[in-house]
């Protein structure tokens, strides 16, 4: 377990404040360059408290990861609930646009994800990435399975393979929104929000043409 009973016994508001500040530090600097001294300075607590709460820097990072992923999961579950019963491609579009909104409103969450993807010094990096990909796959697979049951997808479609493709396409779209060198001339990185949403709609329309029922 990444945190100690000392941390878990803190007031929930104080727990959230510590994790929120740590999220800011790790997202801005990455794991290796993140400074516990800077973190405790902003929090106004003794550095020893961090080691009482989390044992080490890796333990703190793991809990920050869970904290950040929990926010993303809650966000996507809300989108899934709000779009229940809609066309599967409309639900994928709303999920992608919602992802754009989340990056805009709380860029730290996706920045932390990019740190894990592109920086090799993150502890348990492979395990963390796998947990993200499995959640994303299961989320998309559920939408596709419901759409196929309603006859919105090709009947011969392999849902698992389709979920792999959709997950890869949507993830690359969000990365291109955040990293200029991944844009590849699409114009997504610097696009105004309305233009980014238009590109998201066109991307999902391409998926509809390939995966949708005739």
Share above pLDDT 90 across residues of the chain, in percent, rounded to a whole number: 90
Task: Tell me the backbone φ, ψ of residue 141, rounded to 5 degrees.
Answer: -60, -40
What is the C-alpha to C-alpha distance for residues 123 and 103, in angstroms, rounded to an integer? 24
Read off the pTM: 0.91
Per-residue confidence (pLDDT) for residue 64, from 0 to 100? 96
DSSP state, residue 121:
T
pLDDT tens profile 100-154: 999 999 999 999 999 999 999 999 999 999 999 999 999 999 999 999 999 999 9
Q: How far is CA 136 from CA 16, 83, 131, 158, 190, in A?
A: 25, 17, 9, 17, 25
Per-residue confidence (pLDDT) for residue 42, from 0 to 100? 94
Domains and CATH numbers, the chain: 64-211 (1.10.357.10)
Q: How far is CA 1 from CA 21, 22, 116, 164, 212, in A?
A: 20, 18, 20, 31, 44
Helix-strand-coil percent breakdown of the chain, rounded to 5?
Answer: 75, 0, 20
Per-residue confidence (pLDDT) for residue 2, from 0 to 100? 64
Q: How many CA atoms lie within 13 A of 212 on its CB side?
A: 12
Q: 29-38, 42-51, 97-106: which has the minimum mean pLDDT?
A: 42-51
Considering only the C-alpha atoms of the chain, give the largest distance between any 2 of them, rounded to a whole number of Å.
64
In this prediction, residues 13-20 reach a mean pLDDT of 94
């Amino acid at each position: 377990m990444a945190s100690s009973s000392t941390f878990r016994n803190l007031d929930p508001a104080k727990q959230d404040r510590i994790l929120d500040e740590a999220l800011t530090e790790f997202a801005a600097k990455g794991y290796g360059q993140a400074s516990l001294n800077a973190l405790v300075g902003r929090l106004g607590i003794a550095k020893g408290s961090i080691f009482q709460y989390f044992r080490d820097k890796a333990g703190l990072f793991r809990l920050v990861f869970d904290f950040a992923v929990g926010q993303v999961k809650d966000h996507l579950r809300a989108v899934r609930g709000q779009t229940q019963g809609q066309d599967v491609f409309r639900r994928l579009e709303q999920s992608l646009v919602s992802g754009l909104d989340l990056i805009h409103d709380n860029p730290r969450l996706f920045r932390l994800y990019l740190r894990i993807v592109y920086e090799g010094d993150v502890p348990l990096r492979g395990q963390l990435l796998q947990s993200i990909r499995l959640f994303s796959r299961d989320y998309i697979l559920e939408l596709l399975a419901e759409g196929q049951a309603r006859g919105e997808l090709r009947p011969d479609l392999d849902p698992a393979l389709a979920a792999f493709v959709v997950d890869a396409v949507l993830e690359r779209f969000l990365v291109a929104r955040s990293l200029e060198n991944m844009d590849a001339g699409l114009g997504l990185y610097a696009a105004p929000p309305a233009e980014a949403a238009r590109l998201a709609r066109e991307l999902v329309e391409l998926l509809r043409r390939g995966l949708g029922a005739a």
